[in-house]
Structure 1
Amino acid sequence: MSIVSATPWPRDRVIPPSEWKRPEGLRVISSDDHLMEIPHLWEERLKGADKDRAPKYWQDETGFHLTVDGQSYDVPGLPPEFPEGREGYWEVDKRLADMDAEGIDAAIVYHGRLNSLIRMPDKDFWFRCVDVCNEWAAEWKDAAPDRLFPVALLPTFFWPDRTKDYLQKLKGLGYKAIDIPVNPKGVRYNSLSMDPMWAAIEESGFPLSFHIGAYLHYSGRGSLGANLNANLMPFTGLFGQLVFSGVFDRFPGLKVVFTEGGASWVAGTLENADKVARDYASELRPKLAHKPSWYWFNHCYTTFMEDDVAMENIGRIGADRVMWSTDYPHPEGVMGNSDAILKGIYDKVGDAAARKILGENAAQVWGI
């Protein structure tokens, strides 16, 4: 007999009526939700020779499916009708109804299946696939432009010199948010060759999100749980890479959002990074202008869904560095339980900090 109680899959969750009277003027912004791209997106929007080799993407009674050159890009180990089964994932009216039911005023919305295309070997073709998807999502937001804020995948980390021009395109499309993968194969974010990308992002004013990804670290028995456990808390190393390579010293206007990795990792990471900087100061290259924790409080943010440990340590993490989300409509998300979680945050941190965490920080970071 299992000792773990099962949370219903998103398609089966019921959003209960609110039992908590929210404080006057509270604006709730989910800092990490998701959308599902429309079927046949790449087949219909790519042009010329690209159309003939476009990723095949469709929906049937079992869910959404994606193949590239005949190879399945579906997530192994999960039946797609379960994690991708809630209709608000792809139908805007039903999404907005779910947001209304949970009292979510606005949402920062990341892509669904687009991110898996990074496995494509032809990176120039991949760039064009990302581009047409970003164009489509810019149109998608027009259904509720004051509530839905899609995040553009920035596809220039393989070609840093392309970043400035592409960011201008994204601004023209009306984007306020961009993201890049945590650990793309063959890319070293600590390399000086990436500086044209960091410089362009800093100049653009876009905050840069790193969203967790589905990396297959393990295989065999228990691998689904092991991979999810690793993927949902990946940011300690990335924070260290950005800090100790001097990225924030070289680009003091850069703002970074660590997305869907929770917030409890921050306190221990800062303590450990400061200790490393102190104990190995004579050997570290480059030399840092500040303690690692300083960069956190001046450059970084993180998002979470339900994190009691973080709320209990909010003084060490910073109430102005943390942003709440529902992660709609993923299985690990909290859709259907938001009311209780919001009340719990208020009870733990108080009104001023809770207002920042539940909406004010996100509004400031993304200018919404």
Structure 2
Amino acid sequence: MKDGFRIIDSDMHIIEPPEMWEKYIDGAYKDRAPKIVGRYPIGTYGLMEGHMLPTVDAHARERWNGMFRVVGPHLQSDAARGFDPIAQVGAMDREGIDVAALFPTIGLYVMSFDGLDPAFAAAICRAYNNWLYDFCQHAPERLRGVAMIPPHDIVEAIRETRRAVQDLGFMGVFLHPSPVNGRQWHERYFDPLWYELQELNVPVCFHEGTGTVIRQPGDQFGTNRIMMHVASHPIAMMYTSLSLIIGGVLEAFPGLRVALLECNTGWVPFWLDRIDHDFERLAEWDAPTLTMKPSAYFMRQCFVGAEEERGLKQVVEQIGDDNIVWSTDYPHWDSDYPHASEEFLALPVSDKTKQKILWDNCVRLYALH
């Protein structure tokens, strides 16, 4: 709790220990398991299938390391503990966070490979989810897992979703927003997954990670981290929301909840207006199955992740405060930790709105009780 507000962090990150995948993955895949090299916050990267993750060249990595030297002092004590569960809960306490939905760091990238062997992809996800389950046992009421699932094979995706939710108690699944194997999210191939999530009453959480092996917004800028990062996160979520809405997914699965995380909120009013505008003129041909305005689907089923945003007041004035959740993004380089909650609470929105964004909306998103 912070200044009288209960807080759920909708998108807090863990740091995978170097031995995690090799220790937890099925024996048949140990020689191919993703590897973590270096020590966070400086010089930490993943190696998988011959690729460095994130995919930046040596000059860009050095520039990135320099950036971490600036933010690193805030994380020294946590890094000294290897970002273990005690460090995670300590960071939550410093920010006043009661409950955190946990997402990976290197794990944001490992499913972003076209043509990945489905059995191998599933093994990677099982290993990560099993490790995360063990991690959460330090404080299971506060540390809550969101499962990695493999988009390469729908049967494996559903199997791991069921296991993670029913056996491990995870409260959602996450996917990288860039389509894998050329499949768009509105293709009927994914319908069984959306149905399963709806039946299990857990959300799908889309989370960008800049520097993947597959195509993503911003990759045309090469290794310029500013250009890549500024573009990738919000634009990827524009594409994803457009696919799910106009592609008919939210019409077909009205109980499916969708989180668009770490993308800020300022783009949402403009984007919904633009989609509605074209829908009014082209729906008969390009969206004939929709029974509501596109923006109505978003308002009914989507949640968007905010951090400290100077324009949040204007966003709330345009779309309301029912669809916004909050995150520290701890311990990543662009996080405002350890002052993230303090800076959010200083924004010029009402206490009622703060309460909804910090707690109520996340309770609805993750079906917390």
- What is the TM-score of this pair, normalised by structure 1? 0.86
Q: Is this contact kept in 1: 2:262–2:306, CA < 8 A? A: yes
1:298-317 Cα distance to aligned partner (Å, 9 max, x none): 11111111222232230322
CA distance in 1 between counterparts of 2:18 and 2:174 reads 23
Partner of 2:179: 184
Determine what percentage of the aligned residue pairs are the same residue.
26
CA distance in 1 between counterparts of 2:230 and 2:51 reads 26
Which of these residues, 33, 41, 53, is aligned with residue 54 of structure 1? 33
**CA separation of 1:166 and 1:102: change in aligned 2, threshold 3 A:** closer
**CA separation of 1:58 and 1:281: change in aligned 2, threshold 3 A:** closer
Which has the higher Rg, Structure 1 or Structure 2? Answer: 1
The reply to whether residue 278 of structure 1 matches residue 280 of structure 2 is yes
Q: What is the deviation of 1:53?
A: 2.7
Output the amino acid matched with 1:135.
N
Where do residues 260-299 of structure 1 align in structure 2 (5 Å cutoff)?
260-299=262-301
CA distance in 1 between counterparts of 2:288 and 2:155 reads 23
Which of these residues, 26, 47, 52, is aligned with residue 72 of structure 1? 52
**CA separation of 1:69 and 1:281: change in aligned 2, threshold 3 A:** closer
Gaps of 5+ in 1: 1-17
Q: What is the deviation of 1:127?
A: 2.1
| Other structure's SS at 1:22 match | coil
CA distance in 2 between counterparts of 1:337 and 1:46 reads 36
Output the amino acid matched with 2:161.
L
| Other structure's SS at 2:283 match | coil
Which of these residues, 2, 13, 16, is aligned with residue 37 of structure 1? 16
Where do residues 267-346 of structure 1 align in structure 2 (5 Å cutoff)?
267-345=269-347
Partner of 1:366: 366
Output the amino acid matched with 1:139.
D
Output the amino acid matched with 1:328.
Y
**CA separation of 1:69 and 1:22: change in aligned 2, threshold 3 A:** closer
Q: What is the deviation of 1:336?
A: 2.7
1:142-183 Cα distance to aligned partner (Å, 9 max, x none): 11112111211121x222234443222112111012111101
Q: What is the deviation of 1:291?
A: 0.2
Partner of 2:213: none
CA distance in 2 between counterparts of 1:60 and 1:22 reads 34
**CA separation of 1:119 and 1:284: change in aligned 2, threshold 3 A:** closer
Partner of 2:144: 149
- What is the TM-score of this pair, normalised by structure 2? 0.85
Which of these residues, 160, 163, 167, is aligned with residue 161 of structure 2? 167
Output the amino acid matched with 2:94.
A
Partner of 1:196: 192
Deviates more, 1:332-341 or 1:257-266: 332-341
Which of these residues, 134, 138, 162, is aligned with residue 139 of structure 1? 134
Q: What is the deviation of 1:219?
A: 4.0
Q: What is the deviation of 1:203?
A: 1.1
| RMSD between superposed Cα atoms in Å | 2.4
Partner of 2:228: 227
Q: Is this contact kept in 2: 1:27–1:360, CA < 8 A? A: no
The reply to whether residue 116 of structure 1 matches residue 112 of structure 2 is no
Q: Is this contact kept in 2: 1:245–1:286, CA < 8 A? A: no
CA distance in 2 between counterparts of 1:60 and 1:329 reads 13
Gaps of 5+ in 2: 211-215
**CA separation of 1:63 and 1:271: change in aligned 2, threshold 3 A:** same
